Amino acid sequence: MAALDTSALRSALATVNDPEIHRPITDLGMVEDVLVEGGSVTVKLLLTVAGCPLKDTLRKDINEALSTVEGVRSVQVDMGVMSDEQRRELQTQLRGGTPAKEVPFARPESRTRVYAVASGKGGVGKSSVTVNLATALAARGLSVGIVDADIYGFSIPRMLGVTERPTRVEEMIMPPSAHGVRVISIGMFVADNAAVVWRGPMLHRALQQFLSDVYWGDLDVLLMDLPPGTGDVAISLAQLVPNAEILVVTTPQQAAAEVAERAGSIAVQTHQHIVGVIENMSWFNTPNGERLELFGAGGGQTVADALSKTLGTRVPLLGQVPLDPAVREGGDVGQPLVLARPDSEASKALSGIAEQLAVRKDTLVGRSLGLSPA
């Protein structure tokens, strides 16, 4: 039998991505050695941390990748752990020269669109909208992340079906992912659904860590699920990511619209751009086809018009999402509606909004313009 081609084996390994870092294991220094004996291949793999929760996934993916190489009869994966020095080198590589505590999304050359999803009051479905927009954007091929910035009322992990905890590599945190969306939440760090009792400075520090210490990779879109109102977290976000754009979520009733208008008007003080308004729970379709406007009508357009007048620029109503019990059901089991029932009216409305937001941010910083001196 002809000897196995080692380069072909390494090329196959290059197709295997680390499940948390989402980059090839060959690029991350995780493949320590590849040994060949006849048709048997042994891969010596270095895990980033001992007890890596996704080591079985790595073993399966390596077996599948190498099995495609002609002549491979068996694959064995021997797992070790990176040394402290190797982890530090990996951290430096992943940061790409960015200082440890710098927020990458605030840099001028950042290509990530940061959308802060805000509401004036609770109970308008802001988190459900965030999760469904994120998964709809990911389904379009964008790289998407969510920061659950609602520290007191965290709910994003359950709605996405995320149960694993983040992995730490030196001073970097690797966020878990579900449905193609990377997510971080304070709920991943507290035990037994414990309450978080923090004052403003602690909230600011938590948000800063979520933005600077978490390895997000090259995101196209980062959605931030803010707590209701205009408190400490909204102010901290404006300081940490001044280029973040605001999405205002409201329901149709005028009482909610008035509060949502106040939440959006914070952009006057922070000089942030409001992308638009989303009206949630706009109506309910009965089984006999009747449309019931349970919470009134027109609140979303009222907010959009009022903010347009306040800011002196057009703030559009991006869409109206009907009330659908399946949104709640999907959130309880970690299956967003846009994936579980893509043909429903609410899913189509959410997907239509996502389509308007699915614009990659571009920049000329650091790029050649192709110009030559005259």
Identify the CATH number of the domain in which residue 121 sits: 3.40.50.300
Q: What are the counts of helices (DSSP H) followed by strands (DSSP E) for the chain?
A: 13, 14
Q: Indicate whether 64 belongs to any domain.
A: yes
Q: If you average pLDDT over every residue of the chain, what do you get?
A: 86
User: Are 252 and 325 in the same domain?
Assistant: yes
Same domain, 150 and 217: yes
Which residues fall within 8 angstroms of residue 33, CB to CB, at 6 or more apart? 43, 44
Give the end of a domain, one of 21, 51, 82: 82
How far is Cα 222 from Cα 142, in angstroms, rounded to an integer? 10
The torsion region of residue 93 among left (phi > 0), alpha (psi -120 to 50) and beta comes to alpha
Q: Average of pLDDT values for 82-97?
A: 81
- Mean pLDDT confidence for 28-48: 90
Q: Are residues 330 and 219 in the same domain?
A: yes
- State whether 246 and 190 are in the same domain: yes
Tokens 């009508």 map to which residue?
297
The whole-number pLDDT of residue 99 equals 58
- Classify residue 303: in a domain, yes or no: yes
Tell which residue, 122, 183, 216, has the closest CA to residue 336: 183
- Report the pLDDT value the prediction gives residue 363, as an integer from 0 to 100: 43
Q: Any idea which residue has 């091929």 for tokens?
A: 141
Q: What angle do CA 224, 225, 231 make, to 5 degrees?
A: 100
Average pLDDT over residues 112-119: 93
CA dihedral over 343, 345, 351, 352, signed as positive or negative: positive
Tokens 């609602």 belong to 150
pLDDT over threshold 60, residue 368? no
Which domain does 76 fall in, by range?
6-82
Q: Compute the average pLDDT of residues 9-26.
A: 90
- Averaged pLDDT, 93-104: 72
Cα(257)–Cα(247) distance, rounded to whole angstroms?
Answer: 14
- Is 123 found in the same domain as 64? no
Asked whether the beta carbons of 31 and 25 are under 8 A apart, the reply is: yes
- The pLDDT of 222-236, averaged and rounded, is 86
The 3-class SS string of 108-139 reads CCCCCEEEEEECCCCCCCHHHHHHHHHHHHHH
Is residue 286 pLDDT above 50, yes or no? yes
Q: What is the pLDDT of residue 341?
A: 95
The percentage of the chain sitting over the pLDDT mark of 90, rounded to a whole number, equals: 46
Residue with tokens 């491979």: 72
Reply yes or no on whether the pLDDT at 271 is more than 90. Answer: no
Going by C-alpha positions, the residue among 95, 64, 77, 81 that lies closest to residue 29 is: 81
DSSP state of 159: H
Residue 372 has pLDDT above 70, yes or no: no
Residues 116 and 248 in one domain: yes
What are 51-73's pLDDT values in tens digits?
777 888 999 999 999 999 988 89
The tally of domains found in the chain comes to 2
2: Cα within 13 Å, side-chain hemisphere = 6
3 confidence band (pLDDT: 50, 70, 90): low
- Sequence-ordered list of residues with C-beta below 8 angstroms from that of 47, at least 6 positions apart, any chain: 30, 55, 58, 79, 80, 81, 82
The residue behind tokens 């209701």 is 228
pLDDT class of 343 with cuts at 50, 70, 90: very high
**Cα 41 to Cα 29: distance, rounded to the nearest angstrom:** 19
Say yes or no: 51 and 170 in one domain.
Answer: no
Residue with tokens 């469904």: 132
Q: Is residue 91 part of a domain?
A: no
Provide the pLDDT for residue 197: 67
Pair 346, 217 in one domain? yes
Find out whether 144 and 185 touch, Cβ atoms under 8 Å: no
Q: Is residue 95 part of a domain?
A: no
Residue pLDDT, tens place only, 124-148: 999 999 999 999 999 999 999 999 9
Does any domain span residue 362?
no
Residues 274 and 308 in one domain: yes
Q: Could you tell me if residue 364 is inside a domain? A: no
Going by pLDDT thresholds of 50, 70 and 90, the confidence category of residue 374 is very low
Give the burial string for 214-230 (b: 16+ CB within 10 Å, else e). bbbbebbbbbbbbbbbb
Comparing C-alpha atoms, which of 184, 131, 22, 146 is closest to residue 176?
Answer: 184
